[in-house]
Amino acid sequence: MSKHGLVEFDAVLAIARRGSFRAAALELGLSTTALSNAIAKLEGRLGVRLFNRTTRSVSLTDAGRNFVEQVGPAVSTLHEAMGAARSQQETPSGTLRINAFATGAREILSPLLLKFLRHYPKVHIDLVTEGRIVDIVAEGFDLGLRTANLVPTDMIAIPVGPPRSFAVVASPSYFKVNDKPRTPPDLLRHSCIRVRLPNGALHRWHFEKNGQPVQIDVAGPITLDEASLARIAVLNDVGIGYFMEADVREDVQAGRMVRVLEDWTPPIAPLCLYYPTRRNPSAAFKALIDMARRSSE
C-alpha cells in the first residue's frame, strides 16, 4: 500500500508501469476494486480519461501519457522528501536548535551535548547563546536552556547538569598582598572585577548564609560583560572575580585560583532544558531528551 498518502498518483504510475490493474493492485497492496475506484475518482476530478481499458488490455490515453510524464518525477520527489522526514522519526538525524545563555551552555556542552553528538553523529546541534530570554517557539528553537526559576510555566523542564553554585576567586599572587575576605562586606575593601549584565545593569554579587541573603555592589578597576574575559583579569592578578563555579573549577583545582567565601555561596537553582508539549517529535529530539533525563538521575 502507498505509504505517504499518494495513493491515486501511485496507482496511475503503477498501472502504467505494469500494464495491468491486477498487477498494479498486487504491487500496491490494494484490491483491484479499490484501485479501479481510485482511478475513477481521479479521472472524475480531472475530467479526462487516463486509461483505455478492456477486459484484456490497458493502455494510456494521450492525456494519460502526458499526465504520467509530468507527475512521475514529482511523485518520486515527494516520496523521497517524505521518506527523509520519516527517517528522522526512526534514526536520530537532522538539526536541533537550542537557545541558551553562555554560562549554562558551557556547563552542559561537554557532559551532555558533545556526548550526545558522539552517540548520534547524524545529528547537528545549532547552539545559540544570548543573555536575553527568548520565546523559543516564536524564534524557531527546539529547546531552551535556563535556570529552573526562569523557565516559562507552560514548558516541560528537565533538570540537567550537576549541582551549581557561584564561586568567589582570585589568584594566589593577589592574596599574597591582600587579606582574604571572610564575609561579603569585606569585598568592599578589595579590587573586584565588575560584571555588566545583558540589560546594561551592573551585577551585584549575591551571597547567602543561614538563610540570610546579602548583596554586595563591589568596586574595582575594570568592568566586563563576559566570564571568559573576567577569568583572564583574575589570572592576571587584577582582583577578585565572581563566577559560576563550573567556569573556574579547573583553575581552582590546578591552583591557579584560590576560592574564598565558599560558605557564603550555597547551591542555586539547577539548569533545565525546556520545551513545549509536542506531537511526533523527531528521533533526534527524543534521543536528546532521553539522554538529558538519564544525566539528571
Domain ranges of the chain: 7-90, 94-162+270-295, 166-264
pLDDT at 64: 85
Tell me which architecture the domain covering 166-264 has in CATH: 3-Layer(aba) Sandwich (3.40)
Spatial contact of 297 and 158, defined as CB atoms under 8 Å apart: no
- Given this model, what pLDDT does residue 83 score? 66
Q: Does domain 7-90 have CATH number 1.10.132.10?
A: no
Contact 269/148 with Cβ under 8 angstroms?
A: yes
Q: Please give the pLDDT value at position 18.
A: 83
- What is the model's pLDDT at position 4? 44
Question: Backbone phi, then psi, for 47, in 5-degree steps?
Answer: 75, 25
pLDDT at 2: 45
Separation of alpha carbons 238 and 253, rounded Å: 20
Look at the block and give the residue holding cell 556526548. 115
237 alpha carbon, distance to own chain's centre: 38
Q: Do domains 94-162+270-295 and 166-264 have the same CATH topology?
A: yes
Sheet of 271-275: strand order equals 123-129, 94-100, 143-147, 271-275, 156-160
Question: Are the beta carbons of 151 and 255 closer than 8 angstroms?
Answer: no
Name the class of domain 94-162+270-295. alpha beta
Gap between the Cα atoms of 142 and 126, Å rounded: 10
Q: Which ranges of the chain have pLDDT less than 70?
A: 1-5, 83-90, 296-297
Q: How far is CA 126 from the centre of its chain?
A: 7
Q: Read off the C-alpha cell for 273.
A: 532544558
